[in-house]
Structure formats: C-alpha cells, structure tokens
Amino acid sequence: MKKEDREFLKRVEKLVYEQMKQKHVNCDTVCESLGMTNQSLRRKILAITGQTGGKYLLTIRMKYAKELLAKGKYAIGQVAMKCGYDDANNFSRTFKREVGLKPSEYAESRKK
C-alpha cells in the first residue's frame, strides 16, 4: 500500500473515532470533514481497501468495540455508546453479524 493511501486511511480512521464520540458516524460526515464528495470517498476507500465506504467505517467501529470488550472494563451498553450506537441491541446484532460472536461471548473469550 502506498504511503499516501495509508495516511488517507489514518485520517479517515481518526475522523471515525472522533465521530463515534458524537454518535454521528457515516460517510456523509466523513466526506464533509475531508472536503470530498461522497462518491469520491467511496471510490477511494474501495480502491484502497476493497471495501465499500460504509463497510470500512463499520470495520473501524467493530475494531474499536473488540478492543474495548477485550479490556473487560465496560458493559456492553457502554461499549455500544463509545462506538457511536444509541441502541445496545442494534450494536449487539451488528457485532454478531460482523464478528460471528455476541459481544458478551467475545468479551468472555478474551478473558481466557
């Protein structure tokens, strides 16, 4: 991967982490922050990662959720909130679909 592509993805990831705190994680807000059109952002992310823009943002959120769950310091609802979800049930369903385990199962598997 080219250095400029890595730097671009780091900027996107940083924006997603900032937006998770505000619960407004989506391609539109990332585009606005980067000064890009939605289509340009989606094309660039797809070209670099092979994932759609929305899928890439979800990947970042799930990565953060896994980090928080592995620490074992937070309840599922707290992890959901920290990852930008208002609804812990929606977070749990999404986590299960993306990771293959319920958040509680993932957290438990990291304790061993």
CA angle 21, 25, 30 (to 5 degrees): 110
pLDDT digits (tens, 9 = 90+) for 53-108: 999 999 999 999 999 999 999 999 999 999 999 999 999 999 999 999 999 999 99
**Which range marks the domain in which residue 85 is found?**
3-111
Domains held by the chain: number: 1
The answer to whether 61 and 20 have CB atoms below 8 angstroms apart is yes
Assign residue 21 the CATH number of its domain: 1.10.10.60
Q: Which residue has the higher pLDDT, 26 or 6?
A: 6
**31-40: average pLDDT:** 92
Query: In this predicted structure, what is the pLDDT of residue 112?
Result: 60
Whole-model pTM: value is: 0.88
pLDDT, average across residues 43-56: 94
Angle between helices 53-71 and 103-111 (to 10 degrees): 50
Distance from the Cα of residue 3 to its chain's centroid: 22
